[in-house]
Amino acid sequence: MKIGIIGVGNIGGTLASKLVSTGHEVRVANSKGADDVRPFAEEVGATAADAHGAVFGADLVILSIPLPAIEKLPKNLFEGVPVHVPVVDTSNYYPGMRDPQIAELDAGEVESIWVSRQLGRPVIKAFNNILAHSLAELGQPEGVVGRLAVAVAGDDADAVRLVRGIVNEVGFDPVDAGTLAESWRQQPQTPSYCCDYDAPTMRKALAAAVKGEALRLRDQLPEAIAALGANPSHDDIVAMNRSRSSRGQRRTV
């Protein structure tokens, strides 16, 4: 499959490497052009491209850039990309930490609905509720007991099925998280967010989410992270996420 990935940070870069290793033809791009991303592309065996080159002729596109950068993508980026080609949104909104305030999201609009509006096409929400270390290091073959899960939300059944297959290929159990409108259940500080859960626990965590509660917890996150100290371990971060996200959820987990 031909896969275009825009953004080669912790999530996008890891996905590029894993997808090349599973036999896909991967083109990678960032906001600075093909020359800037070329050293990374050569390292993992991908092809360097600009944004238009990454999406042209792709069977799947993955956007793995900070959410505010979505607005800065070329307005005609997807003009030649058929609507049936899935576009995966891996982004999360972190106002006050990394991101400027976005009024619609502050008012409660679902993050990937906002992304879809900016792009002018449907998206699939995936790979946003797993930590970079987990994605890079904790994947397991299909069927392994306790295999970690990744939530996948979207409105097109065929697109969701394709993305679920990619999740499985890179070492994780795909969990159906419902429609794109329901993808708030996997946003930051919800019970399913970056907690290293297996598939049964992930399903329970998605069901346990209480709309609006995550916004309050998210705004308290800088203080919670500071309390972990300068160099928290992966286990420390997972434990913090599990503890915080359990507050205010339905008692189903």
In a domain? residue 174: yes
Q: CA-CA distances (angstroms) from residue 190 to 204, 207, 215?
A: 12, 10, 9
In a domain? residue 78: yes
Lowest mean pLDDT among 11-20, 53-62, 91-100, 160-169: 91-100
* pLDDT for 253: 41
Judged by DSSP in three states, 8 sits in coil
- Beta bridge pairs of residue 153: 125
* Model confidence at 201: pLDDT above 90: yes
In a domain? residue 218: no
In a domain? residue 201: no
- 131: domain CATH number is 3.40.50.720
* Model confidence at 35: pLDDT above 90: yes
Number of domains in the chain: 1
Element (H, E) at 19: helix 10-21
Neighbours of 155 (CB within 10 A): 15
* pLDDT for 247: 66
Q: How confident is the model at residue 249 (pLDDT cuts 50, 70, 90)?
A: low
In a domain? residue 158: yes
In a domain? residue 164: yes
Q: Which domain holds residue 86?
A: 66-183
**Neighbouring residues of 168: CB distance < 8 A, sequence distance ≥ 6:** 142, 174
**CA-angle at 74, arms to 185 and 158, nearest 5°:** 45
* Model confidence at 224: pLDDT above 70: yes
* pLDDT for 222: 76
In a domain? residue 208: no
Distance, in Å, from the CA atom of 127 to the CA atom of 149, rounded to the nearest integer, reads 10
* pLDDT for 221: 78
* pLDDT for 251: 44
In a domain? residue 191: no
* pLDDT for 250: 55
Q: How does pLDDT run across 129-167, given as a tens digit for each residue?
A: 999 999 999 999 999 999 999 999 999 999 999 999 999
Q: How does pLDDT run across 19-31, given as a tens digit for each residue?
A: 999 999 999 999 8
* pLDDT for 229: 87
Segment 65-93 shows an average pLDDT of 94
